[in-house]
A and B are shown apart, each in its own frame.
Chain A
Amino acid sequence: MALLTVDNLSVTYGTPRGLLRAVDQVSFVLNKGQSLGLVGESGSGKSTIGTAIMGLLPKNAKISSGRIEYNRLDLVTTTAENLRKVRWKKIAMIFQAAMNALNPIQRVGDQIAEAIRFHEPEKPNTAVHDRVTELFALVGMNPRRRNDYPHQYSGGMRQRAVIAMALACRPEVIIADEPTTALDVIVQDQILATIKTLQQELGIGILFISHDISVVADVCHHIGVMYAGQMVELGTREEVFNAPAHPYTQSLMAAHITLFGDHQPEPIPGQGPDMVAAASGCRFCERCACAGDACSIEAPQWRALSSTHKILCCRG
């Protein structure tokens, strides 16, 4: 069952040099109980998608076209009243700099309680207290630490506290924007395990945004690869990770340094395209190893490789 449907979403930023197309006609579906990973490098637009869904775009950015459908409601065009019922209630977000999301002068337990009361104002205090205990246990923290302040928490614990706050409203969808990037690898492993467990137990749909393809492959059932604002490959993790079909995905996999592969890491030559200039043809063609003559002129098309796997490419 589709929870969140993003259909041909485009987001533009106004810059002194012109209109920057940060996200260009991106479409995907997030199903109940499943996780979709958005992988890309800096400037690929993956974070912008997350902030667009949550309505957190900065002033100079706007959704220029497309639909974001949740529960038969188009979040782009619907009323503010409806938006308030959905955002931060049914769809929650976890940010990268989780430390900055916590109020340093308020006890962590109280902050989570506040989040609960914000969504359920009629809840009695004892019920709120119990829910805070429940949330702490859900994210693997000792409820006795509820009276501590954020600075007394380690980085990993703060991230868990932020996850708990996001869970407070019983969301159906969680957008996680680089939730483990700032954490060291052991804590990252633990947080990812928590996220995976939560997803299975609560059936939450997770949109996981990261630049690290191995993390995304570890957590997500489906992977979408972003380059220069466009989604260039979409498929199950088996398909994308084990048999990447788009040249950019292949290059990204080749550039990834890992202990467990047996390939020599290869850099991707060239630089990303100018996002302000009007693009004709494929945005990756200048750096693509198998670019043809048509690639710089024709717009690339979606080509289905299986019922779940497709790539955006000029060549067949």
Chain B
Amino acid sequence: MTALEFNRIAITLDKVTKVYRSGIGLHRSGAAKVIALNEVDLAVRSGEIFGLVGESGSGKTTIGRLIVRLETPSAGTIAVNDVPIAQMRGGVLKDFRRRTQMIFQDPYQSLNPYLSVLDTVAEPLTIHKRPAPVTTRVKVIQTLEMVGLSPATEFLSSYPHQLSGGQRQRVAIARAMVLDPEVVVADEPTSMLDASISVQIYQILANIQRRKHMTLLFITHSLAAAHYLCDRIAVIYRGHIVETGPAKSIISAPCHPYTQALIDALPKYGHAWAEKRFNTLRAHERTVTNTNGCPFFARCSRADENLCEARRPELCEIEDQHDAACFFAEEFKPGKSL
């Protein structure tokens, strides 16, 4: 992969905000508003595996859904390969769909129980009319082999209810890969699977990504999984990106208090890291009156009450390629990496 290719930006999020309102119809004024994403900036490079790490409710799934155009942002722009996607319609949108795919979290719900494996994996080919029908079967077989369902011919007439969770997820991956997409979003692809199966799925994704050089956005709640699979990681907290950077750098030298708290919280029996290193969490949460400040202010032990509650820190570069959204990131930058 040339440096030029690597530096090309595949996915850009520019001040993307997504607001959900509950309540329907005429009662909009009384509806509850949830700000799922708050002015998110993100740049994913072409051909890399990018990890988006956050807890449930952080907005990471929303970002994934916005990128594949299942939903549109309330504000801001999303561009894939430099083309804004929010206004796409018709043929342009269909072409975009051919090149952008998603793998879902729940393998028990992401396959239509009434369709066989062949029907499921062939459907994208049929929709986009490529290739000619006689070679659709061949392409499906090739893709099933690629995800390790072998011999593929044995699986073609199977139905989801006959397959295990790991097998179903492989079918879902095959469905996503059959059109040779350029961008793939994997939304917590292993959270419903056992640990031993998860490793297989990660290896499949890594293999395919390496062979096809596609851009893979890997959404997860596990920092360890992101570190294992990804080149770069972004950490998201309550709709804000708080830190981005190379995977190794984020783990060995995290700069944002939330990332540090995440690492502190991981069970680490028997390892040298067993003593808490950062201690960035307060014992009790503060009550926050102003919501325009830093999203982590309520739980942060080193926040300045005047500064952090009033203003929201922007993502700024701390080290080479490593950004954090904290006023004190430079000050508390870990001296030595572990």
List A residues at the B interface (Cβ < 8 Å).
Answer: 41-42, 184-186, 188-189, 192, 211-212, 214-215, 217-218, 237-238, 241-242, 251-252, 255-261, 265-268, 271
Is there contact, CB below 8 Å, between A255 and B195?
yes
In Å, the complex CA distance between A227 and B203 comes to 24
Contact B196 A41 (CB under 8 A): yes
- Shortest Cβ distance from B280 into chain A, in angstroms? 10
Interface 9-residue window, one of B5-13, B178-186, B266-274:
B266-274
Q: Which of B62-70, B257-265, B323-331 is the contact stretch?
A: B257-265
Nearest B-chain residue to A270, judged by Cβ? B196
CA gap between A41 and B200 in the complex, in Å: 15
- Given A217-B267, A242-B270, A259-B224, the answer on whether A186 and B261 have CB atoms closer than 8 Å is yes
Give A316 Cβ to nearest chain B Cβ, in Å: 26
Report the minimum CB–CB distance from B196 to chain A (whole Å): 4
**B223 at the binding interface (Cβ < 8 Å):** yes
8 sampled A-B residue pairs with Cβ under 8 A: A186-B281, A214-B268, A242-B270, A255-B198, A257-B195, A257-B222, A260-B273, A271-B164
Closest Cβ of chain B to A54, distance in Å, is: 24
Closest residue of chain B to A192, judged by CB?
Answer: B267
A296 to B223, CA, bound (A): 39
- Main SS at interface, chain B: helix
Interface string of B47-71 (1 = CB under 8 A from A): 0000000011000000000000000
Q: Is the CB of A259 within 8 A of B223?
A: yes
B220-268 with Cβ < 8 A to chain A: 221-225, 227-228, 251, 261-268
Q: Chain A's nearest CB lies how many Å from the CB of B112? A: 23
The answer to whether B265 and A185 have CB atoms under 8 Å apart is yes
Q: Does B93 contact A (CB under 8 A)?
A: no
Least CB separation from B258: chain A residue: A186
Known: A41-B194, A268-B196. A241 touches B223 (CB 8 A): no
Cβ proximity bits B279-315 to A, threshold 8 Å, 1 near / 0 not = 0010000000000000000000000000000000000
Chain B residues whose CB sits within 8 angstroms of the CB of A41 once the complex forms: 194-196
CB pair B228–A265 under 8 Å, yes or no, is yes
In chain B, what residue has the closest Cβ to A190?
A: B265
Known: A42-B194, A214-B267, A257-B195. A185 touches B203 (CB 8 A): no
List B contacts of A237 (CB < 8 A).
Answer: 269
Contact present for A257 and B265 (CB under 8 Å): no
Q: Are A267 and B200 in contact (CB under 8 A)?
A: yes
Bound CA span A188–B262, Å? 11
Taking the nearest CB of chain A, how far is it from the CB of B199, in angstroms?
4
Contact A256 B267, CB 8 Å, known A186-B261, A265-B228: no
Which residues of B are found within 8 Å of A217, using beta-carbon distances?
A: 267, 269-270
Q: Chain B contacts of A255 at CB under 8 A?
A: 195-196, 198-199
Say whether A186 contacts B269, CB under 8 Å.
Answer: no
B88 interface residue per 8 A CB criterion = no
Does B197 reach chain A (CB closer than 8 Å)?
yes
**List of B residues within 8 angstroms of A211 by Cβ:** 194-195
Residues of A within 8 A of B264 (CB): 189
Taking CB atoms, residues of chain A closer than 8 Å to B197 are: 267
Shortest CB-to-CB span from B141 to chain A, Å, is 22
Report the minimal beta-carbon distance from B277 to chain A, rounded to whole angstroms: 12
- Residue ID in chain A nearest B54 by CB atoms: A184
Closest 3 CB pairs of A and B: A184-B55, A189-B265, A268-B196
Closest to A287 in B: B196
CA distance A266 to B195 in the complex (A): 10
Q: Whose C-beta in chain B lies nearest to the C-beta of A253?
A: B195
Bound-complex Cα distance A169 to B222 (A): 36
Complex-state Cα separation, A268 to B203, whole angstroms: 12
- Given B56, B200, B225, B267, which contacts A184 in the complex, CB threshold below 8 Å? B56
A42 to B228, CA, bound (A): 23
In angstroms, Cα B263 to Cα A266, docked, is 23
How far does the Cβ of B256 sit from chain A's closest Cβ, in whole Å?
14
Residues in B whose Cβ lies below 8 Å from that of A265: 199, 202, 228
Closest chain B residue, CB of each to CB of A258: B224
Q: Which residues of A contact B281 (CB under 8 A)?
A: 186
A186 and B55 form a contact (CB under 8 A): yes
For the complex, give the distance between the alpha carbons of A266 and B265 in Å.
24
Cα(A192)–Cα(B56), bound, Å: 19
Chain B nearest Cβ from A257, distance in angstroms: 5
Partner of A257, one of B198, B263, B270: B198
| Nearest CB of B to A295, in Å | 19
- Find B267's partner among A215, A242, A252, A271 (CB 8 Å cutoff): A215
Q: Judging by beta carbons under 8 Å apart, are A188 and B268 in contact?
A: no
